[in-house]
Amino acid sequence: MTTWSSISRSVDPEIAEAQPISKSTRPHTWKIVWRNVLIMALIYAGGLYGLYLFLFVSSWKTCIWTYVYGTISLQGVTAGTHRLWSHKAFKAKLPLKIILMICQTMAFQAHHKFSDTDADPHNAKRGFFFSHVGFLMVAKHEDVLSKRKTICMSDLESDAVVEFQKKYYGILVVFLCYLLPAAVPWYFWNETVWVSWFTAVMLRHCVSLNVTYSVNSFAHLWGSKPYDKCIYPSDNILVTLASYGEGWHNYHHVFPWDYKTSEFGNYPLNQTTMVIDFFAKIGWAYDLKTVSHKMIEERSKRTGDGTKYSHQDHSIWGWGDSDMTIEEVEDVKKYNKMKDNINESSDSQ
């Protein structure tokens, strides 16, 4: 895992910034980090076994606990790590910062800066496996190492909550990611330690990681591009459903400062927006940034792939919708008149 503050900043940024980054992906010989390969293999094996226990062995209480704990931890990633600290899409007061810090499990602020170049740690141009999980199994590309040192981290370094997380990261991870979720089912409803560990810890952790990874892989390789057809990130509905609203990725890369990460703030497909809106109502979140409809329309017409207008321009809920055209209304009335005439003629016969 990478903490917010673990990115090195000791090298002169001007030196690193002077090194050009190629937009194309150059051939590269990767050095496999076998320790990481082993760790990922254990996580996936544990997750698969945990899935079996989740489906056939664990109690319904453990299943609910696993889901709820996983959902809360993912909100720490989506609302905290991503929208608050990485993109500054909104501001948070101390209580909310503490909540999001506790929930979050991983972060990397530079993930958009050099997207889909050799300086992108999970460059989608290298294929699905690399962008999903393979990038964790090899030594980082030299462009990643040099360019990430140029990212300004002064805002995070001055954040007391982030610095606290950095200082006690190891203890927090051991307790919040591993011990607590396993201890609750065992202590409160006598679930076995074995089942508690592999469901509430290994399965939950594996699913959370893969949901996060899917934004780097699926949402960079498959989907529509309503806002910019020239970039890899795409709007992917499946990723949106799995990640509580992070799958509107084409929009997000075009407008990364929008706290909704999408044009639409509909809660069923963007639960993280619902969470942020809730805390905004009680005053813990404020200065929520979004994008004007005019700016969205102008950008999508200029660089989008056209899919925005193929299904959204004329969506109506039913008869009487104010967006119905005169032609539609008259056509329906004509059909009814024709039907009435047919009925009248049949009656006269």
**Residues 237, 334 within the same domain:** no
- pLDDT tier for residue 286 given thresholds of 50, 70 and 90: very high
**Residues 166, 283 within the same domain:** yes
pLDDT tops 60 at residue 168: yes
**What's the pLDDT at 14?**
44
**Residues 268, 340 within the same domain:** no
The 10s digit of each residue's pLDDT in 58-73 is 999 999 999 999 999 9
Q: Would 1 be classed as within a structural domain?
A: no
For the segment 224-253, the average pLDDT, to the nearest whole number, is: 92
Number of domains in the chain: 2
Question: What is this structure's pTM?
Answer: 0.77
**Residues 84, 226 within the same domain:** yes
**Residues 294, 340 within the same domain:** no
pLDDT tops 60 at residue 1: no
Q: Alpha carbon 209 to chain centroid distance? A: 11
**Residues 106, 231 within the same domain:** yes
**What's the pLDDT at 3?**
40
pLDDT tops 90 at residue 325: no
pLDDT tops 50 at residue 39: yes
Contact between 150 and 16 under an 8 Å Cβ cutoff? The reply is: yes
**Residues 332, 224 within the same domain:** no
Contact between 77 and 141 under an 8 Å Cβ cutoff? The reply is: no
Neighbouring residues of 192: CB distance < 8 A, sequence distance ≥ 6: 186
**Residues 142, 197 within the same domain:** yes
Neighbouring residues of 311: CB distance < 8 A, sequence distance ≥ 6: none
Tell which wins on pLDDT, 278 or 332: 278
**Residues 330, 271 within the same domain:** no
Report how far residue 135's alpha carbon sits from residue 141's, in angstroms, rounded to the nearest whole number.
9
The rounded radius of gyration (Å) of the Cα atoms in the chain is: 25
Tell me which of 9-23, 77-91, 100-114, 232-246 is least confident: 9-23
Tell which wins on pLDDT, 11 or 259: 259
| Residue 294, domain extent | 13-310
Other C-beta atoms within 10 Å of 319: how many?
9
**Residues 304, 318 within the same domain:** no
Residue 32, beta-bridge partner list: 138
- pLDDT tier for residue 87 given thresholds of 50, 70 and 90: confident
Q: Would 275 be classed as within a structural domain?
A: yes
Contact between 210 and 129 under an 8 Å Cβ cutoff? The reply is: no
pLDDT tops 50 at residue 166: yes
**What's the pLDDT at 86?**
84
Q: Would 257 be classed as within a structural domain?
A: yes
Residue 91, beta-bridge partner list: 286
Q: Give the helix ranges, DSSP H, for the chain.
A: 13-17, 34-56, 60-75, 94-103, 128-132, 142-147, 154-157, 160-167, 169-172, 180-189, 193-196, 204-216, 218-221, 237-242, 249-254, 271-281, 293-303, 307-311, 326-348
For the segment 53-60, the average pLDDT, to the nearest whole number, is: 97
**Residues 300, 318 within the same domain:** no
For the segment 331-341, the average pLDDT, to the nearest whole number, is: 54
For the segment 120-127, the average pLDDT, to the nearest whole number, is: 77
For the segment 184-208, the average pLDDT, to the nearest whole number, is: 96
pLDDT tops 90 at residue 320: no
Tell me which of 13-27, 95-109, 217-231, 242-256 is least confident: 13-27
**Residues 229, 322 within the same domain:** no
Both tokens of 302, joined, read 């200029």
Phi and psi based region of residue 59 (left: phi greater than 0; alpha: psi -120 to 50; beta: remaining)? beta
